[in-house]
């Protein structure tokens, strides 16, 4: 019996020694990084990554968009609204901006075609999404540039654009459908793919806010920094991993174009509760979702244009100032 116990003890010590050697072995792979994505358009910007997760990522989660502020702080990698990325950095979080994931998918629709220009919105009630979000800042910036006075309310006011904020696109859609049935001339701001669904219900597309933003900024490309990819500082130092991550995102545009029929299923596999789980995507709708990946100088230029516009409306939304050069990943 004593001999048996001695053998068992030696065996246990040997296993422990091997485990300890393994922990100290620099050739052993790291545990991996955590990645969090908000539900909605940002998830469309990461479909290729969800389909084929790069080596080095141990977990990928899609979460409700109203939880992303907290979850981004807890994760190694995150897709976040542009203003949140700046806010985190300016408040002392060690994060780097890697690239823009979605470049805007906002459109203005009406129950009629009475609105021909932004100036025609004066005196009208506009239902919109996401107060103090990137879509809101884009819309308000363009209205301000057009010389329009914007107020918040439930009923149209003479000489003003009255914005009634809703929690999400489905609530805006409900208001538009109800107004159309009642013969009312009402306007709403929606994002793709909800725009395609609204047009199928008789709504009229009035403006493409991405094109209006391009005219506002004078940029070469259509769109703006809506959702961006950020990583923690330690992750940014892992050059081999960063190269794999960036390559995966750079392939997203081509992937969704070639696999439009699979997009909803890929997202639903990760997050069955997704607002896109039951959505039927066409190649045209996905193209209008504007999910190409941009990095480097182009990313910095469009991000700063967005941050400056936000600062003019609410500087605290970006942490009080534009991020400095150290914010941008240059690997």
Q: For residue range 36-75, what is the model confidence (pLDDT) as tens digits?
A: 999 989 999 999 999 999 999 999 999 999 999 999 999 9
Residues 99 and 123 in one domain: no
Residues 229 and 289 in one domain: yes
How much of the chain exceeds pLDDT 70, in percent? 91
Last residue of a domain, one of 200, 217, 234: 217
Q: For residue range 187-207, what is the model confidence (pLDDT) as tens digits?
A: 999 999 999 999 999 999 999
Contacts of 319 (CB under 8 A, 6+ apart): 86, 87, 88, 89, 90, 91
59 sits in which H/E element? strand 57-63
Domain count along the chain:
2
Q: What is the pLDDT of residue 61?
A: 97
Quick check: pTM over 0.85? yes
Residues 173 and 305 in one domain: no
Residues 146 and 66 in one domain: no
* Mean of the per-residue pLDDT values of the chain: 89
Question: Does a structural domain hold residue 262?
Answer: yes
Q: Please answer whether residues 68 and 84 qualify as being in contact, where contact means their C-beta atoms are separated by less than 8 angstroms.
A: yes
Q: What is the CATH number of the domain that holds 177?
A: 3.40.190.10
Question: Does a structural domain hold residue 11?
Answer: no
Contacts of 246 (CB under 8 A, 6+ apart): 98, 99, 293, 295
Residues 291 and 250 in one domain: yes
In the predicted model, is pLDDT for residue 84 greater than 50? yes
Residues 121 and 209 in one domain: yes
Residues 170 and 182 in one domain: yes
Question: Does a structural domain hold residue 178?
Answer: yes
Q: How confident is the model at residue 30 (pLDDT cuts 50, 70, 90)?
A: low
Higher-scoring residue by pLDDT: 245, 297? 245
- 156-170, 217-231, 234-248, range with greatest mean pLDDT: 234-248
Separation of alpha carbons 226 and 248, rounded Å: 19
Question: Does a structural domain hold residue 17?
Answer: no
The domain in which residue 267 lies consists of: 33-103+225-327
In the predicted model, is pLDDT for residue 10 greater than 60? no
Residues 85 and 230 in one domain: yes
Residues 82 and 123 in one domain: no
β-strands 33-38, 57-63 pairing? parallel
Residues 157 and 178 in one domain: yes
Last residue of a domain, one of 181, 198, 217: 217
Residues 90 and 115 in one domain: no
End-to-end alpha carbon distance in the chain: 62
């Amino acid at each position: 019996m004593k001999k048996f116990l001695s053998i068992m003890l030696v065996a246990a010590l040997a296993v422990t020694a091997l485990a300890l050697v393994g922990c100290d072995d620099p050739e052993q792979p790291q545990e991996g990084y955590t990645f969090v994505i908000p539900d909605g358009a940002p998830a469309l910007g990461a479909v290729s990554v969800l389909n084929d997760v790069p080596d080095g990522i141990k977990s990928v989660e899609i979460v409700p968009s109203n939880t992303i502020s907290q979850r981004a702080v807890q994760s190694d990698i995150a897709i976040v609204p542009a203003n949140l990325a700046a806010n985190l950095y300016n408040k002392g979080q060690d994060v780097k901006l890697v690239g823009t994931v979605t470049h805007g998918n906002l459109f203005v629709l009406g129950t009629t075609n009475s609105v021909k220009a932004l100036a025609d919105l004066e005196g009208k009630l506009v239902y919109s999404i996401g107060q103090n979000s990137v879509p809101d800042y884009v819309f308000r910036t363009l209205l301000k540039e057009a010389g329009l006075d914007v107020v918040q309310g439930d009923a149209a006011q003479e000489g003003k654009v009255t914005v009634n904020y809703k929690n999400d696109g489905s609530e805006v859609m409900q208001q538009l459908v109800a107004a159309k049935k009642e013969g009312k001339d009402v306007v709403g701001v929606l994002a793709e793919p909800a725009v395609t669904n609204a047009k199928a219900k008789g709504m009229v597309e009035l403006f493409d806010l991405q094109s209006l933003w391009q005219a506002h900024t004078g940029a070469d490309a259509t769109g703006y920094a809506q959702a961006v990819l950020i990583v923690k500082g330690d992750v940014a130092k892992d050059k081999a991993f960063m190269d794999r991550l960036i390559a995966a995102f750079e392939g997203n545009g081509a992937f969704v174009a070639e696999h439009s029929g699979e997009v909803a299923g890929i997202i639903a596999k990760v997050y069955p509760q997704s607002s896109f789980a039951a959505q039927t995507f066409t190649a045209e709708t996905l193209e209008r979702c504007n999910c190409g990946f941009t990095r480097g100088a182009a990313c910095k230029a469009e991000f700063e244009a967005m941050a400056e516009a936000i600062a003019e409306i609410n500087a605290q939304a970006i942490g009080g100032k534009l991020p400095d050069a150290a914010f941008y990943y240059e690997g």
